[in-house]
Homo-oligomer: A and B are copies of this chain.
Amino acid sequence: MSDILRIRNPVIGIVGIGLMGSSITASLLAAGHRVKAIAPLPGEEEPGLDRIIRQLRLCEDFDLLNAPLKEYLGLLTVSNDYYPLGDCGLVVECIVEDIEIKETIFKKIVEFTPANAILASNTSAIPISILQQMIPDPQRFIGIHWAEPAFGTRFLEIICGRETNEQTVDSIFNLAISWGKEPTVLKKDIRGFITNRLMYAVYREILHLVEKNVIGFEDADKCFRYDAGSWMTLMGIFRRMDYDGLDDYNTAFRNIFPHLSNEEGISPQMQKIMDSGAGGIQNGRGFYTYTQREAERWLQSFEAFNKDIFHLAANYPEEIPITSKVTS
């Protein structure tokens, strides 16, 4: 093994190596961890490994590797069994969002993992406070939420369940920094966590406006791409307010908050699209329609764009001191 590849502790287990699991595995290998990747379904070992290799190639393309790809593969074990988890200090579950299946899987993880290991879930749908009840020692359970691709953004959301202890948060926070992330800590376990939840507020409002025929969804996309998209990656939310001036926002909020949508359900228009069997780019029918070729082009565009924006963002380093550990 090359000495330019610095191997980091702990050994990390990833259970579930679909799209996100394989991307997270590649990200952790690139950071220098030994990774035990578990494919819980029979027959998933080989396609899982293929996905991981593909994601590692993307890491290479992102300039995230400083040794040949095969040396990183030397840090990887892929298995259908759980016994390789025996030397892991952290195990992250990345399987489907099904609470019963997760319960079965966590039983196995607990059986094979050292008693002091931190257990985590990459769920974005199920509360951490519920999942942590599935293990004997809920204090060492935590949510770690990556965005896709796991290696290609500085985003990482750390979610405290009701019983997660401070030591667990600190450990994961410090690990995340060593991965090149700018981690954020969610102190309370709320639905949708932060990043998705804020976008849901956008979706609630825009579905309402499209329903009322105020604007078409193509135009809504253009607005967001070219206006919010022109400062978002630089500033975030509160910095943007500071930049524009707080007085104007104060006035605007008072005028507009009372008019925003408070709908609890999705709009009839979206329901109609759902009822027609639309699934998105996966089946070629969503808000837009896609030929096979167009769908593939969108997947490729996202990979290419993500690489571009990752490097662009690196030219605008975080101005915010990292002080976001649990302090309150």
Contact = CB atoms under 8 A, between A and B. Distances in A.
Nearest to A255: B191
A125 B210 CA distance: 21
A279 B246 contact: yes
A50 interface: no
Interface string A239-264: 10111111111111111111111111
A83 interface: no
A99 interface: no
B205 A243 contact: no
Copies of this chain present in the complex amount to 2
B221 A237 contact: yes
A265 B274 contact: no
B242 A236 contact: no
A238 B220 contact: yes
A214 B308 CA distance: 32
A214 B190 contact: yes
A171 interface: no
**A contact residues, range:** 35 or more
Contacts of A157: 223, 227
A202 B192 CA distance: 14
Contacts of A260: 197, 200-201, 204
A236 B264 contact: no
Given A125-B255, A222-B236, 9 more contacts: A184-B219, A184-B220, A201-B205, A217-B238, A233-B305, A250-B266, A257-B263, A257-B265, A308-B312
Interface of A: 97, 125, 147, 152-155, 157, 182-188, 190-192, 194-206, 209, 212-239, 241-266, 270, 273-274, 278-282, 286-288, 290, 294, 298, 301-302, 304-306, 308-310, 312-313, 315-316, 318-320, 323-324, 328
22 contacts: A153-B227, A157-B227, A183-B222, A191-B255, A194-B206, A195-B224, A198-B220, A200-B252, A200-B253, A201-B260, A203-B237, A221-B236, A221-B237, A228-B232, A229-B236, A230-B310, A231-B302, A233-B305, A235-B302, A238-B287, A304-B316, A308-B312
